[in-house]
Amino acid sequence: MRNTGGRFLSSISKMNRPTSVYVAACAGSARTFQHQNELPPLPVPDLNESCDLYLKSIQPLADQTQFENTKNVVDQFRQNEGPILQKRLLEHAKETQKHNKSWLEDFWLDAAYLAFRAPLPTNSNYYILFDKAPRNLKQTKIAAKIIRGALEFKKQLENEEVTPEYLRRTTPQCMDQYKKIFSTSRVAKSGTDILLQFEGSKHVVVIANKQFFNLQVLDQEGNAYSAAALEKRLEEILSFSAQHSHEQVPPIGAITAIERDESANMRTMLEKDNKERLHSIDTALFAISLDGDEPNSMDQAGEWINGGNENTAPNRWFEKLCNFVVFKNGWSGLTGEHCPLDAPIVGTMTNYFLQHMSKEEVNGDGSENVPAFENYQWEINPSVADELKNAQKKAAEVLLNCELVYQRYSLYGADWIKKVAKTSPDAFVQMSIQLAYYYTHNDSTATYETGTARCFFHGRTDTVRTLSSDSREWTVAMADPQVSVNDKLSHFRKALDSHSSYMKRAIDGKVIDRHFLGLRLVKKPTEDAPAMFVDPLWRQSTRFRLSTSNMTSNYYVAGFGPTEEDGYGVCYGTRSDSLEYSITSFRSCAHTSAKNFSLNLQKALDHMRSLFNEQAKL
């Protein structure tokens, strides 16, 4: 998600990132949603426990004087406004439970997403790059396979054949987000966007050479057309769009890549003569872009899906929950709108069809009678045309600003970490990110890691504050050649224990960031903000210059943009024999560099291996 910084929420809406995947397959014929009514409600944490945990989390960011000042402010909050706000939040939780909701979900959807005004790409959306998908096929064949694979997953979901997910193989996870993958769109509105979901859609939107096409992919009974027939229609669309690419094609897609209030204004202008066309995009199952660009590396492919180049924005619709992208030379992936669901949900679908694609098992059967495609003929007056050109320029600035670098560390992976380091791969990787940041900036910073809250009804995520006094002491020790290996290893174990303890609290619903968000949102407009939430250390501890998340898969890598202008977005996967990192920074910031961070990350991983005096490869 995304950081709103001074925009009211102080590192709330930008910070929620793809959730760490803690799923295990269930044997037998379990139904997708069979556990929903058994899930406990999302708890409201204890006020004093949250205040204590907050004070502990800020210690590595403060000197003694700063800490004592903030402690006094927090103690005043406990005695004065805190109990009043806590009582209101408990009452709110009780009321929302009557309506089959968690106390957080509407707060989170509106405050963290729909009210967020920055452009969606690189700020709110995430991306997935299909790094293991075949690239030696025709562009349209790859696109047809992706469409068929997604439709097969949709059918399984409708039949409740998608395996329910469990934490550590025993605790059911909330599956509600899966209902929102298809036919869902965010729509720009002034002030606060809206989220729309539709039933009965049978078409997708295909975007090629800046032109939009309606392609029906399900027959009247809801069955998918054959892959071969879909590929034929995609070939026709690509040919048609190429023949008309020399014309003055309006860059419609660019309106979804600019600041949200500007996007809302552009949509209002377009709706006057194009309401049905926009509605057709909104109701589509998903979008798929056939790009003429040819990325020359994995880094560039990821960067052009996460952000893009000067040609990208007109060939996207960033408001769709899934906008698949297939480049001319076979690289493929998706950009995902984030507000109603978290990236691992789409990741599960992606794993499903990529696994079948790798084995050439995507079912190609079905009717051959795909209806002819429909080309969207936009009605654009001269003033709107000028505004669209300006939107394209602004969109290009947004997309080009985000640098992306992959770090694939192959000297060891999750197997080695578990066998030799004897710790959780997630915790190990989190410490590698802490150390890389310290090597890069000679300092530590507040760090966000996405923790799961899906053990609870309609639960999504909460914040794991990775930076601790123990992790800070360890990074300082690692940079000091006078500290012995044994002492470094001792500090490392303490840092790992601190991380594991915080992660467990997050899973149990006993951490602070969503709790404090709720307390702030039940404050009445006429009441002053509690001093705790305007204290300098509050801002410092919620300014997550490191925004991180675990998205482990054998079939894709994933990522997102930074949460702060001077920060990094670090998404990672722990494969059995390698560690995969997607690292982003903004080119507009002179103090950060994804390339430099990547080099220091490799250095950190080398140094961490040396602590164990073992060969990296098993």
Q: Pick from 121, 128, 114: which is nearest to 12 by CA?
A: 114
Could you write out the three-class secondary structure of 409-457?
ECCCCHHHHHHHHCCCHHHHHHHHHHHHHHHHHCCCCCEEEEEECCCCC
Calpha distance 75→51 (Å, rounded): 8
Calpha distance 471→489 (Å, rounded): 12
Reported in sequence order, the residue ranges of 69-202 that DSSP labels E, i.e. its strands, are: 126-129, 166-167, 171-172, 184-187, 194-197
Q: Which residues pair with 568 in a beta bridge?
A: 546
Spatial CB neighbours of 22, under 8 Å, sequence gap ≥ 6:
167, 168, 173, 452
Specify whether 338 is catalytic: yes
469-478 and 485-507 helices, crossing angle to 10°: 150
Across the chain, how many H-helices and E-strands are there? 17, 18
Q: Token digits for 94? A: 């009780």
State the catalytic residue, choosing from 92, 338, 458, 499: 338
Write the burial class of residue 526 (CB in 10 Å: 0-12 exposed, 13-18 middle, 19+ buried): exposed
Q: Token digits for 266? A: 């552009």
Ramachandran area for residue 580 (φ above 0: left; ψ -120 to 50: alpha; else beta): beta
Backbone angles phi, psi at 201, to 5 degrees: -70, 145
> Which residues are marked as active site?
338
